[in-house]
Amino acid sequence: MSLTRLKSTLAAESKNDSDFPRAIDPEFFVELMASKDEDTRRHCSRVATLAWQLAVEATGSVSYASAVKRTAMVHDVGKLGIPEAILRKPGPLTEREFAVVRQHPEIGCELLRGARAGTACLHSVLCHHERWDGAGYPNRVAGPNIPTTARIIAIADAYDAMVSDRVYRAPRAHGQALEEISRCAATQFDPTLAATFCQMDFELQPESPLERTRAA
């Protein structure tokens, strides 16, 4: 999708500001997540920062980027419904355990629906693990049918997961993570957004992911 078409899609999605979660306080859900799993809260915070910058770079709209950031802060809120034994397991998940984790977009959507979040927020939380090629979950939505906000969050989410330390694997370096984002453009990720992400100046971010991976 070209940048012109992306901006056109954004304009269509943004006609009704009430679609975005202005009426809810993401911090409420952030605190809930922190009470269950601090790593998830930190991950959501980093993803929100990355998503905000990507939204600004891709669209030039700070207002839209702020809405993206609020949604990104709660993109993993569905993990509140995942058993802690799975969420904090110190090793790779079994296929059965991963099937449980894969329910978190739907759980998150329902939690936010109960908090009367807007349609755009709900759709983006539900779709943040969908793939450009239609092989994602939970509904195998593909290409431009995936909400723009969800496509932005998906890239930020994947990058942070790659550069973060895990008990069962070492973090990837910044450059390696960008290479993977680029390699998966047009299969996992929106190719235009992936290219924009890989060209971002990560030094501009507070608590820069680039600095974090250098220190790792």
The pLDDT score that the predictor gives to residue 39 is 84
The pLDDT score that the predictor gives to residue 9 is 52
Instruction: Say which residues have a Cβ less than 8 Å from residue 16's Cβ, sequence separation at least 6.
Output: none
The pLDDT score that the predictor gives to residue 199 is 95
Question: Residue 10 belongs to what H/E stretch?
Answer: helix 3-13
Task: Give pTM, 2 decimals.
Answer: 0.84
The answer to whether 46 touches 209, Cβ cutoff 8 Å, is yes
What is the distance between the alpha carbons of residues 201 and 35, in angstroms, rounded to a whole number? 33
Give the mean model confidence (pLDDT) for residues 109-131. Answer: 92
Span 3-215 CATH architecture: Orthogonal Bundle (1.10)
51 vs 91, higher pLDDT: 51
- Which sequence spans correspond to the domains of the chain? 3-215
